[in-house]
Amino acid sequence: MDSHERVESFRNHYEAIRAEVGKVIVGMDEVVEQVMCCLLTGGHALLEGVPGIGKTMLIRTLSDALDLRFSRIQFTPDLMPADIIGTNIVVDDGRGGKQFQFQQGPIFGNMILADEINRATPKTQSAVLEAMAERSVSVAKTIHKLELPFFVLATQNPLEMEGTYPLPEAQLDRFMFKVLVGSPSLSELTTILDRTTGAETPEARKIVGRDELLAMRDLVREVPVASHVKEYIGRVILATHPGSEFETESTRKYVRYGASPRAAQSIILAAKVNALRQGRHNVAFADVRRAAKPALRHRLILNFEGEAEGVRPDDLVDQILAAVPEAQTV
């Protein structure tokens, strides 16, 4: 296929997946879009929202539509790393002796739901985050590779809820997006009740398989980005840093630490997906702006004044996007 046909195939597959997920998941259009963006770029997503609003159903439905292996890990304070990655067990070797055999943990899947990750201790959290970064786990000096695609959707309760261990800033940075999941509207809640309390419960069917998904990922990497768009992304990232030449007034007043280069990588990959799903093989400024909030909201570390005044990172991102020009003036 030529590039135009590949872009059109990507767009058709993307819309078919969205439509299939929409048969099961009510509303949450922006959430689905952002989660799919992470999935199609090889990133991972952190969802924040109160329990019971469909986070588990979302990733299970996506795994059904993509024909991928789904695994759910419920994080609790007593969960240990070996409960996640697996351990060596003693088995018969068939000759009357014993030998060690590695028994895989639930991390060995394609779509991993790390449910309520901030209820587990930092030691257990780090085991999952290491697997996310390395795409492998190490047990007894042996490295076990994880099958691709490997996607972690971690959920956390709002930090003001009891019994939580906040993720450190360095570990938060490993998530491509932080996705905020709100409560459904009245009409959405009515539709949820109709779908979940009737005689038949809708289920997603397979739309694309593993090979098609990996091909879509490859195409994302091939999308070119013009130098002036890259420079715009760079100015946006630098504007999050107090003391930089591109700082804004709100950054200087409320931010302690700005976003890392990993944030720029997340934005540029997400912008490529935004372009492809609209049938374009080039990235526009609007694609970048659409990716800015989920890529930056968990990477802006507020200072004491920002925390005291209840400043929302999303508002800071809006102010930065309004202040940073698309073309740099000489």
Query: What is the rounded distance in angstroms from the CA atom of residue 4 to the CA atom of residue 281?
Result: 8
Determine the pLDDT at residue 163.
Answer: 58
The gap from C-alpha 119 to its chain's centroid, in whole angstroms, comes to 19
Q: What is each CA distance from 196 to 40, 136, 169, 199, 224, in whole angstroms?
A: 29, 37, 38, 8, 43
Closest CA to 169 of 160, 178, 181: 178
pLDDT at residue 141 in the model = 80
With vertex at residue 73, the alpha carbon angle to CA 194 and CA 266, rounded to the nearest 5 degrees, is 85
CA distance 300 to 303: 10
What is the model's pLDDT at position 161? 56
Bridge partners, residue 98, by sequence? 92
| Span 259-263, average pLDDT | 93
Instruction: Summarize the confidence of residues 22-50 as an average pLDDT.
Output: 90
Whether the predicted pLDDT of 225 surpasses 70 = yes
| Average pLDDT of the segment spanning 71-95 | 86
Residue of 167, 154, 136, 155 lying closest to 43 (CA atoms): 154
Angle, to 10 degrees, between the axis of helix 29-39 and the axis of helix 3-22? 130
- Percent of the chain at pLDDT > 70 equals 97
Look over the chain and give the mean of its residue pLDDT values, rounded to a whole number.
Answer: 88
pTM of the complete model: 0.89
Candidates 165, 144, 143; CA nearest to 154 is: 165
* pLDDT band (50, 70, 90) for residue 13: very high
* pLDDT for the residue 159: 57
Q: How far apart are CA 43 and CA 17, in angstroms?
A: 18
What is residue 7's predicted lDDT score, i.e. its pLDDT? 92
Amino acid letter, 45: A
Tell me the per-residue pLDDT of 184-194, one tens digit each, with 9 for 90 and over: 888 888 888 88
Q: What is the mean pLDDT of residues 124-145?
A: 86
Position with higher pLDDT, 37 vs 102? 37
Q: Which domains does the chain have, with CATH numbers?
A: 3-78+106-213 (3.40.50.300), 223-323 (1.10.8.80)
Percent of the chain scoring above 90 in pLDDT? 52
Through-space distance between the first and last CA atoms of the chain, rounded to whole angstroms: 42
